[in-house]
Structure formats: structure tokens, C-alpha cells
Amino acid sequence: LGKGFIGLVTRPTGGIVDFASTSLDLIKRTAQQEEVVRRVRYPRHVGRDGLVRPYISHEAMGFFILNKLEDGKYAKIDTYVAHITCSDNPPSWLLATSK
């Protein structure tokens, strides 16, 4: 009976200590910012209907290109629909938008 009672108190306490330790370690690493965070993939494209669909890298790249044109000028007034790569060197694409 004594062992059960001690376990009832120490297990939750141990979990709280582990959680606090992990949280403080994460805060410490974030504050140090030793690692340079880099994007792994382009941002997800959300279509005109506003539905979030599975990630498609080709669409994400086209959406990224549209957003980079003249610092996002066209992304504010147009919606990305599709694109094709015309040339790799120099890079050129044909974009289709909603307008």
C-alpha cells in the first residue's frame, strides 16, 4: 500500500519536472539562435476556392514565383492557376492566373 501511494505522488511530479526541463531547454535553444532556419519547401498554394488540399510542389513553386514577381504586386490582384517551365537557362516560366 505504501509503494502505491508513493508512486501516485512521484510519477505525476516526475512528469511535470520533465516537461519543465524540456520547455526550458527549448526556450534556451530558441534564444541562442545558433542554427540558421531555412525553408525546406515552398509555401502551400491554396486555390481560389479557399480549400486546403494536399501539398503539390509544382503548384507551390508557381505560387512562389507569382509572389516574387515585382515584390508580390501581381499576387495582390491575381490568383495563381497553373504554370509551365519554358526554359531552365535562363529560367523562364509561363504563368496562368485568374485575370
CA distance 30 to 28: 5
- What confidence tens digit (pLDDT) does each residue in 13-72 have? 666 777 777 887 777 776 666 667 788 999 998 888 888 999 999 999 999 999 998 888
pTM of structure: 0.57
Q: Are 78 and 99 in contact (CB under 8 A)?
A: yes
- What confidence tens digit (pLDDT) does each residue in 60-98 have? 999 999 999 888 888 888 889 999 999 999 989 999 998
φ, ψ for residue 98, nearest 5 deg = -75, -10
Q: What is the DSSP letter of 51?
A: -
